[in-house]
Amino acid sequence: MTDPWVEGWRQEAKENGWNVRDFVIHHTSRGNDTNGFVGSPATIAESLQRYVDTGIVAGFNISPYLTPVGLDDTVNRLVPELQDRGIYPADYAGTTLREHL
Each domain of the chain, given as residue ranges in start order, spans: 1-35, 37-101
CB 13 within 8 A of CB 23: yes
pLDDT at 1: 60
pLDDT at 68: 78
CB 79 within 8 A of CB 88: yes
pLDDT at 36: 73
Query: pTM score, two decimals?
Result: 0.60
DSSP run (H or E) holding 24: helix 20-28
pLDDT at 32: 53
Residue spans of the chain under pLDDT 50:
none
The contacts of residue 67 (CB under 8 Å, 6+ apart) are none
